[in-house]
Amino acid sequence: MAVGADIPAPATPLRAWLTGIAGRAEGLLLPVLALLAGFAVFAVFLLLLGKNPATFYALVYKAGFGTAFSWNNTLSRAAPLLFSALCVAVPARLGLVVIGGEGAIVLGGVMAGGLAMLLAGWPAILAMPLLALMAALVGAIWIGAVGALRQWRGVNETIASLLLAYIAIALMNHLVEGPLRDPASLNKPSTAPLAESLRVGDLPGWNVHWGLAVAVVCCILCWVLIERTTTGFGARIAGGNVRAAQVQGLPVTRLVVGFTALGGAFAGLAGYFEVSAVHGSANASLASGYGYTGILVAFLARHNPLAIIPVALLLAGFEASSGLVQRRMDLPDATMTVLQGFVFVSILASETLTGRISLTAWLNRKDTA
Amino acid sequence: MTSFLTRRRFLSTTAGLAGAATLGGLGRPARASGELTVGFIYVGPRDDYGYNQAHAEGAAVVKAMEGVTVIEEENVAETQDVQQTMESMINFDGATLLFPTSFGYFDPHILKVAPNNPDVRFEHCGGLWSAGMPANVGSYFGYIGMGQYLNGIAAGHATKSKKIGFVAAKPIPQVLLNINSFLLGARSVDPTIECQVIFTGEWSMAVKEAEATNALADAGADVITCHVDGPKVVMETAAARDCFICGYHANQSVLAPEKYLTGAEWNWATVYTDMVKKTMAGEPIDNFVRGGLAEGFIKMSPLGPAVSDAARAQFEDTKARIMSGGFAVINGPMKDNAGNVVATEGQAFEESDVALESMGYLVEGVIGSTS
């Protein structure tokens, strides 16, 4: 062995470039491989049921992404998921597991439905932003309270947010069946229908409401906040090690309450769009589980606000294809839930491989051989 | 860095799926001219022993008809999900007659999708179609309160504690009419009978339904019925508490044959075969369709072994009177359980009276409150 062999070879621009690419490729390749692994395991499951996996995946593609109608379907379903995933992902950067976005969604919806009755005569340009803002505020208070309970009372935020969601749904039922009920809503108690001028319309050329565009913008803004601002940097530090953050003088309490409130505001907005763009009034249909699917989206996206966008599209596509799969292959409606479960476990399990099958390490090993 | 990764991840995922699309037969199933594709949409599982099963049993009869293809989808939420399901059945399967069966599908979902698909007929269960709504939309329902009245007669004979129980989902007109009918049927046997009602607040919430049933049994009720989407939990819990049971929506006798008195069942096969025949013949369907026992929209489960001869005689006699038409459950003078007059002397609301579809009270003798 030559003298000085243990001195690392000087990095060439090529090697640095390759190493950079390899680092990025790992973050991309691992989830994709995990996704494919999940699909493969599910294919075995289908074979055991005597169904053809190729037909299954082709149907999923066709109904989720294959035609213009499929994209309408998928995008419509994605909008509420984007908001509800942000409600999980934003607090998650502080290490908080908030799973009660459903509560903020229904209360945001009730606020929009109830307040709209008072704003009937207002010009839309004032009333619509006010409705959205108030719905977001209710959501912010609801989930912000979870952060406050944790910071000041030491209450576990996961349990608190989940239990508060049940309270929120009960509160919604009470309000739409009692004080806020439109007497004309006989067999489905609801608030009075929103005035036409207050309804949110569709994106031009699509059957998808504006909530989708707003949600995408919110995802981008959250990414900027978390990755490109000092506040976001502070949040990530506090999420990594709360003691260290406190020692550094970071305002941990303000960050926790602020980030949970911000997440809740997005869930509140989801409720606003459900009422103003889909239902036209607030009623029990607001509690339809978007808050819970959002948890899945956020975890699959590793709480990265930008990654939420494709993940939400993927899951929305699964859900969009659920019906066609039921009808054509005579599979139960739980099929898509099973597929989502396989993918979820597969991607979470793949995280333990991060750094272990690193292309960077492989490149370096070849170098020293 | 992350943006690069996620975009790439997204693109490669969709590209992978695109590759998969080349596999498998994906075209719309071939359909000869003169044939009809009918779509049924359910809010819960098809085998819930209740609301959805009753519709699925009707769909099964349609499936056996010549020249008809039936497509079904279950567990479809009353959100934009159902709008997409309707569009999907129209776009991918060529359905031209749809039965979205849950009440909450009507407004705004059917009313939004129907104008975009003028060649498709939307028939909805329970809604109140009125002039000005899209012409390709119709609503149908049945006078199932009459069935609960007959349940009440069987219950009135079977109860020893003179107290019967009702597990209800929400205090809405359709449910209130059933509760009132159940009690009034029982009071036609013995006017001292009372009926306790517990609202669970949800259409499908097994835990609360079991709790409510136990609470009714604890309070002394010995015959129990319900109006929730899936009566299975109520029936099994009540039978386990040694109460008699009266069914609802579908036939639940298999769950507890010895305890099952009778049940108010939907008979949607009548409605569905009729509407499918009319559609295939190119005949118009009324936008507002209602019917009861006489029209075959509802039926009663066969009487169980616990039903006495006296009960059977009164049951059959009343059933014959209902079948002959003009029977009214709400007869004046009658008060609600807060003392307000709901029907004056001589006033009677026949089964077909639309006023019953906006009922907002519980009659005297019902223990419970609508708020």
- Residue range A176-212, pLDDT digits in tens: 998 999 988 888 899 999 999 999 999 998 889 999 9
The per-residue b/e assignment along A251-289, b for 16 or more CB within 10 angstroms, e otherwise, is: ebeebbbbbbbbbbbbbbbbbbbbbbbbbbbbbbbbbbe
Give the model's pLDDT for residue B5.
Answer: 41
**B104: nearest CA partner in chain A:** A188
Listed as ranges, residues in chain B with pLDDT below 70 are 1-34
Q: Which domain holds residue B61?
A: 36-142
- What pairing do the DSSP bridges indicate for beta strands B260-266 and B288-291? unpaired
Query: Per-residue confidence at A361, pLDDT binned at 50, 70, 90?
Result: low
Domain-located, residue B283: no
Say yes or no: B342 and B357 in one domain.
yes
* Residue among A21, A28, A74, A169 with most chain B CBs within 10 A, to mutate: A28
A280-337: per-residue pLDDT in tens? 999 999 999 999 999 999 998 989 999 999 999 999 999 999 999 999 998 888 899 9
The neighbouring-strand residues paired with B245 are B224, B260
Give the model's pLDDT for residue A363.
Answer: 66
- In the 8-state DSSP scheme, what is residue A279? I
Give the model's pLDDT for residue A251.
Answer: 93
Q: Which of B117, B142, B167 is the last residue of a domain?
A: B142
Give the model's pLDDT for residue B2.
Answer: 39
C-beta atoms of A187 and B103 within 8 A? yes
Query: Per-residue confidence at A69, pLDDT binned at 50, 70, 90?
Result: very high
| Residue A213: partners with Cβ closer than 8 Å, 6 or more residues away | A203
Say yes or no: B133 and B167 in one domain.
no
Structure tokens that stand for A134 in this block:
């108030």
Query: Per-residue confidence at A367, pLDDT binned at 50, 70, 90?
Result: low
Query: Per-residue confidence at A369, pLDDT binned at 50, 70, 90?
Result: very low
Say yes or no: B130 and B83 in one domain.
yes
Query: Per-residue confidence at A31, pLDDT binned at 50, 70, 90?
Result: confident
Structure tokens that stand for A172 in this block:
């919604």
Domain-located, residue B350: yes
C-beta atoms of B13 and A177 within 8 A? no
Query: Measured between alpha carbons, how far is residue B299 from residues B52, B127, B148, B194, B230 in Å?
Result: 16, 21, 11, 25, 18
User: Which among A63, A309, A327 has the least Cβ separation from residue B71?
Assistant: A327
User: Which among B45, B88, B357 has the least Cβ separation from residue A63?
Assistant: B88
Say yes or no: B128 and B192 in one domain.
no
ipTM for the whole complex: 0.85
B145: nearest Cα among B187, B116, B175: B175
B25 interaction partners in chain A (CB closer than 8 Å): 55
Structure tokens that stand for A328 in this block:
């054509």
Say yes or no: B171 and B155 in one domain.
yes
Say yes or no: B150 and B132 in one domain.
no
Report the share of chain A in percent with pLDDT over 70.
Answer: 93
Give the model's pLDDT for residue A6.
Answer: 57
Domain-located, residue B75: yes
Give the model's pLDDT for residue B246.
Answer: 97
C-beta atoms of A333 and B2 within 8 A? no
**Least confidently predicted of A6-15, A18-27, A155-164, B306-315:** A6-15
Range A230-248 average pLDDT? 92
Range A347-361 average pLDDT? 74
* Residue among A42, A216, A314, A327 with most chain B CBs within 10 A, to mutate: A327
Q: Are residues B295 and B284 in contact, defined by beta-carbon separation less than 8 angstroms?
A: no
A102-112: per-residue pLDDT in tens? 999 999 999 99
Say yes or no: B304 and B191 in one domain.
yes
Helix (H) or strand (E) holding B198, with range, is strand B194-199
User: Which among A55, A283, A324 has the least Cβ separation from residue B88?
Assistant: A324
Say yes or no: B74 and B223 in one domain.
no
Give the model's pLDDT for residue B209.
Answer: 97
Q: Are residues A43 and A53 in contact, defined by beta-carbon separation less than 8 angstroms?
A: yes
- Helix, strand or coil, per DSSP, at residue B166: strand
CATH number at residue B105: 3.40.50.2300
Q: How many domains does chain B have?
A: 2
Class for the domain spanning A80-346: mainly alpha
- What pairing do the DSSP bridges indicate for beta strands B328-331 and B260-266? unpaired
A333 interaction partners in chain B (CB closer than 8 Å): 45, 73-75
B128 interaction partners in chain A (CB closer than 8 Å): 186
Say yes or no: B95 and B212 in one domain.
no
Give the model's pLDDT for residue A358.
Answer: 59
How big is the A-B interface in CB pairs under 8 Å? 155
Q: Which of B100, B118, B142 is the last residue of a domain?
A: B142
Give the gap in angstroms from C-alpha B332 to the nearest C-alpha of chain A.
24
| Total residues found in chain A within this entry | 369
Domain-located, residue B132: yes
Q: Which of B120, B142, B164 is the last residue of a domain?
A: B142
Distance linking the first and last C-alpha atoms of chain A = 11
Domain map (residue ranges) of chain A: 80-346
CA angle A71, A74, A76 (to 5 degrees): 105
Say yes or no: B149 and B201 in one domain.
yes
Compute the distance between CA of residue A99 and CA of residue B154 in angstroms, rounded to an integer: 48
Say yes or no: B183 and B77 in one domain.
no
Say yes or no: B101 and B187 in one domain.
no
pTM of the model: 0.87
The neighbouring-strand residues paired with B291 are B142
Residue A365 has pLDDT above 70, yes or no: no
**A312: nearest CA partner in chain B:** B10
